Amino acid sequence: MPILNGGELKSTMKAVLENGTKPLVDGFEGRRSIALLNAIYRSAAKGGEKELV
């Protein structure tokens, strides 16, 4: 599984190299996505529902 999608990587690099350009996904949204995926994995491994905070 790739760590970054090609479009996300390209967007992030453009944001770093060109002033005023925002990446497709900022750090906050990326962190929320990882939290969701971790909850899904924990739920699958242990069974049952997991609360997202």
**Residue-range domain boundaries for the chain:** 6-46
Enter the pTM of the model: 0.55
Q: Which residues contact 12 (CB under 8 A, 6 or more apart)?
A: 4, 23, 24
| Phi-psi label, residue 47: left if phi above 0, alpha if psi -120 to 50, beta otherwise | left
For 1-53, the pLDDT digits (tens) are 555 566 777 777 888 888 677 777 788 888 888 888 888 888 888 887 767 66
